[in-house]
Structure 1
Amino acid sequence: MKNIAITKDLQSKMTPQGVLKDLLEGNDRFVNGNPEGADNAALVNQTTAGQYPKAVVLSCIDSRVPVETVLDQAIGDIFVARVAGNFENTDILGSLEYSCNVAGSKLILVLGHESCGAVKAACDGVELGNITAMLSNILPAVKKSADEVDGETNSSNKEFVAKTVENNVRLTIERIREKSPILAEMEEHGEIAIVGGVYSLHSGKVEML
């Protein structure tokens, strides 16, 4: 059972590769039904004065993908930024920069997921209120997938949706590097890594891209 929160000293000794390994091992525990468990009272007490998360995860808002749970992480372990379709914008980029450049996190994980509703809506060209502008962030992935997958280019084509989920993660990572010189420089110097994966609703497994 985890009962000791990450300290600044411990965080400073972590590497991007080690943090990714840790998150994937946590996912394995989740998939296999043997999560580590945590003494939440102890962790709350230890993190009241400060926090030193090892990673930040950019995830979809989907209720079926509770990030800390599926990665078996506890209080103080990770930052989580969530928006439908797990894309970047100014606010998300600022949050990622804070997580890594200010608070010391070593890893950015862009986490898409199987059968993403936002991706399906983008594939179908849904237009509704503020959702229209939101989905425009996913359209580059839709267009890329249309050149890579045969058949219907809408949500009825499961292969098309799956490819768009993957492309959306990859393009989001590219845009994070393009739009944030701070994060791009940190990655270039080996201080952080920016990686992507897709969560399976069926198996609970995170597959890295």
Structure 2
Amino acid sequence: MGFIASGADSSLFIYKHGDQVVYLIVYVDDIILTASTTTVLRHVIDQLRQAFALKDLGELHFFLRVQVRRDAMGFYLNQAQYTEDILERAGMANCRPASTPVEAKPKLSTTDGELASDSTFHHGIKISATPSIALKVYSDADWAGCPDTRRSMFGYCIFLGDSLVSWSSKRQTTVSRSSAETEYRAVANAAAECCWLRNLLQELHVVIDKATMIYCDNVSVVYLSENPTS
């Protein structure tokens, strides 16, 4: 069988012939394999066993800190166990949960309802020409949020339809001199992730023919993104 290496992800290999599709992911000595039919899947496993010593572990349940849960409707990915492990190491496993990490009541309002709160996302930045939305992104940053380094914390979450497919929260590598700079860096990282995801989905034969909209809560960043001049 002739697998083609993915241009978006070096660990992904794709085989497509007619209506037969096989996806193979390799990470060190672990392999995730899925195919369009069970017959094709078993054929690929038999072919691999002729070249490598393999152990079939059955259905996927946990891989790279991501849990896979299955039911009659399909399968769901989550990082619940990974989150619990982090809370345990931080001594916060018994802390009381909060319904939301942000304020529930809006601080600001306008007559047209465009801006309802400084902690939500209302402004959009397109990174492709078509006007519709299929891949949605929410980006935010906390300027100088780290008290030790004065570096900013930033994060984003990306939705494909109603499904969360990519997320990140980390400290920026440089010190930003303004909140606008911090937010712009966060949006830039989110946009880079979107470009990678769109390329990956295209290789997976998932058609994304609509624009990706990135939401942020900084008006200066929106204006700068629409007119990136000094």
Verify same fold: TM over 0.5. Answer: no
Per the normalisation by structure 1, the TM-score is 0.29
Larger RCO (CA under 8 A, 6+ residues apart)? 1
- Of Structure 1 and Structure 2, the greater helix share is in 1
Instruction: Report which of the two structures shows the higher radius of gyration computed on alpha carbons.
Output: 2
- Of Structure 1 and Structure 2, the greater strand share is in 2
